Structure 1
Amino acid sequence: MMLLIDAGNTRIKIGWVKPDTGERETQALALEHGALEQLPAWLQQLDDRPRAALGVSVAQPGVAASLDALLQRHYAFAARWIQGEPQAAGVRNAYDMPAQLGADRWASMLGLVQRATRDTPLMLASFGTATTLDTLSPIHDTAMPGARFLFEGGLIFPGPALMLSSLAAGTARLPQANGPIAAYPTHTHQAISSGIAAAQAGALLRQWREGLERHGCAPAVFSTGGGWTIVEEEAQRTLARAQADLGVPQDPIQWLRAPVLDGLARLAVES
Structure 2
Amino acid sequence: MFLVDIGNSRIKWAVSDGDAFTSIGEAEYVAKELDAQLDVMLNAFEKQSAIAVSSVAAPRVIKAFVSWVEARWQSDVYIIKTAQQEGSLINGYVNPERLGVDRWLAMIAATDAGNVGVPVCVIDCGSAITIDVVDVGGQHLGGMIAPGLSMMRNALVKGTSGIRLKDELPAEVSLLARDTEGAVTGGTLYAAVSMLDRMCSDIVASQGRQTQFFITGGDAPMLMPLLDNEFEYDANLVLNGLWRVATEVKN
Judged with a 3 Å threshold, the aligned counterparts in structure 2 of structure 1 residues 12 and 89 are, in CA distance, closer, same or farther, namely farther
Look up the match of 1:230.
222
Verify: 1:4 aligned to 2:3, yes or no.
yes
Look up the match of 1:125.
123
Name the SS of the counterpart of 1:23 in structure 2: coil
Judged with a 3 Å threshold, the aligned counterparts in structure 2 of structure 1 residues 200 and 122 are, in CA distance, closer, same or farther, namely same
Check whether the contact 2:53–2:77 (CA below 8 A) recurs between aligned residues: yes
Range with bigger deviation, 185-194 or 200-209: 185-194
Question: Which of 26, 31, 43 is 2:27 aligned to?
Answer: 31
TM-superposition CA deviations, 1:22-50 (whole Å, max 9, x none): 32323312132242112442322xxxx63
- For residues 183 and 210 of structure 2, the distance between their equivalents in structure 1, rounded to whole angstroms, comes to 31
Return 5+ residue gaps in structure 1 as ranges. 140-148, 240-251
Tell me the TM-score normalized by structure 2.
0.85
TM-superposition CA deviations, 1:218-269 (whole Å, max 9, x none): 422222111224323222xx33xxxxxxxxxxxx223212111101111133
- For residues 174 and 120 of structure 2, the distance between their equivalents in structure 1, rounded to whole angstroms, comes to 27
Verify: 1:81 aligned to 2:79, yes or no.
yes
TM-superposition CA deviations, 1:78-106 (whole Å, max 9, x none): 42222221101331101111000011111
Look up the match of 2:66.
68
Deviation at 1:4, TM superposition (A): 1.3
- For residues 129 and 258 of structure 1, the distance between their equivalents in structure 2, rounded to whole angstroms, comes to 16
Check whether the contact 2:55–2:101 (CA below 8 A) recurs between aligned residues: yes
Name the SS of the counterpart of 1:27 in structure 2: strand
Verify: 1:196 aligned to 2:188, yes or no.
yes
Aligned pairs, number: 239
Verify: 1:164 aligned to 2:153, yes or no.
yes
Q: Give the counterpart letter for 1:268 in structure 2.
A: A
Name the SS of the counterpart of 2:61 in structure 1: helix
Look up the match of 2:104.
106
Check whether the contact 1:15–1:24 (CA below 8 A) recurs between aligned residues: no
Equivalent pairs: percent with the same residue?
A: 26
Look up the match of 2:173.
180
Look up the match of 1:41.
43
**Structure 1 ranges of 4+ moved more than 6 A:** none
Q: What's the Cα RMSD here?
A: 2.2
Deviation at 1:130, TM superposition (A): 0.9
TM-superposition CA deviations, 1:37-68 (whole Å, max 9, x none): 12442322xxxx63322211111222212221
Look up the match of 1:246.
none
Judged with a 3 Å threshold, the aligned counterparts in structure 2 of structure 1 residues 51 and 90 are, in CA distance, closer, same or farther, namely farther
Check whether the contact 2:78–2:246 (CA below 8 A) recurs between aligned residues: no
Q: Give the counterpart letter for 1:163 in structure 2.
A: M
- For residues 257 and 107 of structure 1, the distance between their equivalents in structure 2, rounded to whole angstroms, comes to 13
Deviation at 1:169, TM superposition (A): 2.1
